[in-house]
Amino acid sequence: MTYATTRARSGVSGELIFVDRKGTWQNAQSPAAEMVLLILRTPKGRCLVRPEMGVDWRRVNKLRTDAGNTAREAVLDALRPLVQTGFIADLRVAVRVYPTRGYLELDVSFVDVRLRAATRTTLPTLQQAV
């Protein structure tokens, strides 16, 4: 049993996921997972309601040798409010850099505190971190 339910969204595009064979929307793993994905999809300063929300991709240069560490720190900074408020715990972030392909792959895992369940998602981010 979950404390809340929400529809699952694509980690990359943010679109709702529809399951054709069932004829219904896919339920999210956890509401916390959807919050994490929303923050990861939002470049910092682009949310008009909360300009401080999102990842500061401007500080990441994927062509530098420290791109993975810089991107990891940017993601940790963006998700820090969820950790500080106790919404998620045990946050772990790993980043793989594919400079020739033009994207970063994020591997994010955490515990949804209210659900008491571990969640892990791996997604490519198509942010044009230059």
- Per-residue pLDDT of 21-61, as tens digits, reads 888 777 767 778 888 888 988 899 998 999 999 999 999 88
Render 2-30 in DSSP notation, one character per residue: -S---B-B-TTT-PBPEETTTTEEPBPS-
Cβ-contact 95, 105 below 8 angstroms:
yes
What pTM was estimated for this model as a whole?
A: 0.76
Cα–Cα distances in angstroms (integers) from residue 69 to residues 42, 57, 94, 113, 120, in the given order:
19, 12, 9, 26, 19
30-125 CATH choice from 3.10.580.10, 3.10.450.40, 3.10.20.30, 3.40.50.720: 3.10.450.40
- How many residues are present in the chain? 130
